[in-house]
């Protein structure tokens, strides 16, 4: 996650200790270490983790981090494909490497096609539901 990124929501404010725990949960390896970093006890941490408002903010932050991760992967994907195609076309690469690369490319091409098909079907169902409901 980028330094200084804050989730802004005017709804459901957290206490400062809850905010510290929220950040610590994404920077520490264990809940116990996060509690310590946030300056709270295990019992308080457990209470915060079970608080619906805290859970909502935690999930918002988790989604934000995953969106940033996905964006970074998408930005790197063109370079990754160029590397794979380079290996596939390299006359000096051994056949087992070429087979592995070809398999990776084909697997991902089929996954992308399946995802497009599923998305199209969901969109169609949503349009049908909208027409029936309204």
- What pLDDT was estimated at residue 134? 59
Is the model's pTM score more than 0.75?
no
Distance of CA 62 to the CA centre of its chain: 7
Query: Domain residues of the chain, as ranges?
Result: 1-76, 90-134
Provide the 8-state DSSP code for 50: T
Q: By 3-state DSSP, what share of the chain in percent is helix, strand and coil, each rounded to 5?
A: 80, 0, 20
Q: Are 26 and 66 in contact (CB under 8 A)?
A: no
- From residue 82, how far is each of 13, 73, 78, 89, 100 by CA, in Å? 46, 14, 6, 10, 15
Query: How high is the mean pLDDT in each 10-residue block of the chain (134 residues)?
Result: 49 86 96 97 97 95 93 90 94 94 92 93 93 76
């Amino acid at each position: 996650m980028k330094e200084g990124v804050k989730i802004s929501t005017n709804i459901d404010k957290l206490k400062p200790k809850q905010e510290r725990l929220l950040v610590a949960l994404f920077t520490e390896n264990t809940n116990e270490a996060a509690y310590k970093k946030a300056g709270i006890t295990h019992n308080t941490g457990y209470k915060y983790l079970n608080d619906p408002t805290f859970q909502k903010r935690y999930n918002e932050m988790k989604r934000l981090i995953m969106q940033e991760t996905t964006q970074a992967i998408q930005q790197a994907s063109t370079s990754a494909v160029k590397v794979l195609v380079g290996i596939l076309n390299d006359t000096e690469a051994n056949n087992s490497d070429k087979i592995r690369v070809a398999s990776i490319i084909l697997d991902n091409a089929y996954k992308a096609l399946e995802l497009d098909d599923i998305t199209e079907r969901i969109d169609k169902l949503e349009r049908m539901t909208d027409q029936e409901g309204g």
